[in-house]
Amino acid sequence: MAVLETILERLHDIRAIDTHEHLWDESYRLEHPGDWTLLFYHYGITALQMAGMSAAETDELYADATPHARKWEIFSRYYPAARNTGYLRAARIAIRDLYGIEEVTSDSMEELTVRIREAVQPGFHHWVLTERAGIDCAWVNCFDRDANEDRYPVRDWGDTALLRPALYANDLIHPSGYGLISGATGLDTATLGDWLGAIDAYFARYAPQCAAVKISLAYSRPLAFDPAVPRARAEALYAQHRAESLDNAAARPLEDYLFYHVLRRAADHGLPIQLHTGLYSGANRLNAYALRDNVKDVAELAIAHPECTFIMLHIAYPFQDELVMAARQVSNLYAEMSWAWVVDPVAAAQFTAQMLVAAPMNKLLGFGGDYAWVENTYGHLQIARQGMARALAGLVTDCGWSLEEACEAGWYALRGSAEALAGGR
C-alpha cells in the first residue's frame, strides 16, 4: 500500500498533457451551463441505456423543459445499476470534488444545479482543467460548428494555449463543408484540383498552431486505404460527390486518394496522425469484425510511411493486446489511452503494465479525456491516475522495478511522450 500511495501522490504532481478531447469552446458552455443531468450526458447516456433506459426516456431526461422531479424519476430507475461503470464514476468523482456533493439524490439534485450554474463563469475551463485537474494542455478535436452546421476542422479562437487544436480531417477526406473551407482559405472548391489546393492552404494556415491531425473514419470504413487510385477516377468521383453526395461505400476510392494527400500534408508540417481505433461510441453499435483489423491496417500504414507518425487512439479496445505488439514492433506507431480509463478501467490498467514491459516508455500516451464537458475530463483523469498507479505499483512489487523507474514511466505516460511528439509546437 505504501508503494501504491507514493506512486499515486507522485502522479498527482505531474502536470498532464491530455492528448484527446472534444471540449466545446468555453463560450458555448457559458451559454449552456446545464443542470444536474449534464455530467451524466456524454457517455453517461450509453451506460444508462445499457441498464435499460429507452430512447424516449433518454430524450425526456436530457430535455431542458423536463421538470427535475420527472428527470429524477427516470434517472433513479437505471442509475443504481449503472453507477459502477467508468462512465458514471467519472461524473460522480467530478460532482464530489468540484461541487462538494457526495452523491446525486432527489434531495441534492437541485443544489447541484445551483452550484453548477454558479461555477460556470468566465475562466471556468481554466479553473477545472488547469487548477483542479492539473492539465497544462489538451489536444482538442472540437465539436463546434458554423452557421451551416458544418464542423470546424480547426477551432482557432478561445484559449488555444490550453486547448490546442487537433485538425479534424474527416471532412477533408470525405469532402464536405465546402463553404467553410472556401471561406477559410479564400479558394474555390469546384474541382478536385481546387479541393487539393484548399487542403494545402488550410494546412498552411492552421497546422502551425495544431498538435495533431485527427481522423475518425473507422466509424464508417476499414482503415485500409488504396494508394493507387488513379487521379482521373478521383476527379470523376469528386464531381459526382459535389453533385449528389455519395455514400461512404461509393466514395471510398475518393477517400483513399484524399487520405494520402492529407497524409503528405501532415508529414510536411510535422503533425502526428491520430486515428480512432476500436470500440464505437454509443449504444447498440457493435461491429467487432470491422474493429478487428484496425491495428493491422494502421501498422501496415505506419511501416509503409516512415515519414509520418501514427497514434492509435483508445488502445484499439477490445484488441489492445494486438496494439501492444504493434507499438512494440513499429517505430512510428504509438498507443494512446483516451477514453480507455472509463470504457474499461481494469483493461486499461493491464494494458498500461503490458505496454511498459514490452515497449519503450515513450510509446505510451497515457491520458485523454475524450469528453465534451470539462468536469467529466476531471473525473476521468482521477480514474486514470488511480489505475495507472495500480499498474505501476504492480511493476514494482511483481516485476522488480524501482520506485523511481515506475514514477518515470508515469511521467512519460502523462506528459513526456506527448511533449516529445508535439515537438515544441
Query: Domain for residue 394, yes or no?
Result: yes
User: Tens digit of pLDDT for each residue in 362-400?
Assistant: 999 999 999 999 999 999 999 999 999 999 999 999 999
Q: What is the pLDDT of residue 292?
A: 85
Query: Would you tell me the crossing angle of helices 231-244 and 192-206 to the nearest 10 degrees?
Result: 90
Whether residue 327 is found in the same domain as residue 392? yes
pLDDT of residue 289: 67
Q: Do 282 and 414 have their domain in common?
A: yes
pLDDT above 60: residue 282: yes
Mean pLDDT of the region 294-312:
98
The reply to whether 199 and 348 lie within a common domain is: yes
pLDDT over 60 (residue 212): yes
Same domain, 313 and 170: yes
Domain containing residue 266: CATH number: 3.20.20.140
Tell me whether residue 259 is in a domain: yes
In the predicted structure, residue 425 carries a pLDDT above the cut 60: no
pLDDT exceeds 90 at position 284: no
In which residue are the cell numbers 498538435 written?
211
Q: How many CB atoms lie within 10 A of CB 245?
A: 12
Instruction: Indicate the residue among 69, 102, 119 that finishes a domain.
Output: 119
Verify that 292 and 175 share a domain, yes or no.
yes
DSSP secondary structure of 67-119 = -HHHHHHHHHHHHHHHTTSHHHHHHHHHHHHHH--SS--TTTHHHHHHHHHHH
Provide the pLDDT confidence category of residue 237 given band limits of 50, 70 and 90: very high
Last residue of a domain, one of 119, 154, 177: 119
How does residue 247 score in pLDDT terms, banded at 50, 70 and 90?
very high
**Are 83 and 187 in the same domain?**
no
Same domain, 199 and 70: no
pLDDT at 424 over 60: no
Residues 402 and 253 reside in one and the same domain: yes
Contacts of 319 (CB under 8 A, 6+ apart): 278, 291, 292, 294, 295
Say if residues 99 and 116 touch (Cβ distance below 8 Å). yes
Is 46 a member of any domain?
yes
* Beta strands at 135-140 and 163-168: parallel, antiparallel or unpaired: parallel
* Average pLDDT estimate for 74-78: 98
pLDDT at 74: 98
Are 188 and 104 members of one domain?
no
Rounded to a whole number of angstroms, the CA Rg of the chain reads: 22
Residue 93 lies in a domain: yes
Q: Greatest CA separation found in the chain?
A: 66
pLDDT of residue 1: 74
Q: Would you say residue 120 has pLDDT above 80?
A: yes
Lowest mean pLDDT across 82-91, 210-219, 301-310, 415-424: 415-424
Q: Which domain holds residue 109?
A: 34-119
The pair phi, psi for residue 163, each rounded to 5°, is -110, 85
Main-chain dihedrals φ then ψ at residue 167, nearest 5 degrees: -70, 115
Going from the C-alpha of 16 to that of each of 87, 126, 133, 319, 343, the distances in angstroms are 21, 14, 9, 26, 20
Q: Is residue 358 domain-resident?
A: yes
What average pLDDT score do residues 6-28 get? 97
Q: Is the dihedral of CA 72, 77, 80, 86 positive or negative?
A: negative
**74-78, 401-405, 421-425: lowest mean pLDDT where?**
421-425
pLDDT tier for residue 286 given thresholds of 50, 70 and 90? confident
Within this chain, do residues 102 and 199 fall inside the same structural domain, yes or no? no
pLDDT > 70? residue 75:
yes
Give the pLDDT of residue 399.
96
Tell whether 105 is covered by a domain: yes
Virtual CA dihedral for 314, 320, 325, 331, nearest 10 degrees?
0
Across residues 191-209, what is the average pLDDT? 97
- φ and ψ of 93, to 5 deg: -65, -45
Round the average pLDDT of the chain to a whole number and report it: 96
Both 305 and 160 in a single domain?
yes
Percentage of the chain exceeding pLDDT 90: 95
Q: Domains in the chain: how many in total? A: 2
- Main-chain phi, psi angles of 272, to 5 degrees: -65, 155
Q: What is the mean pLDDT of residues 128-151?
A: 96
Whether residue 29 is contained in a domain is answered as no
- B/e letters for 379-405, b = 16+ CB within 10 Å, e = fewer, are bbbbbbbbbbbbbbbbbbeeeebeeeb
Half-sphere exposure of 171 (CA within 13 A, CB side): 18
From 119, 139, 164, the end of a domain falls on: 119
Residue 276 and residue 220 share a domain: yes
Give the model confidence (pLDDT) of 163-186 as tens digits: 999 999 999 999 999 999 999 999
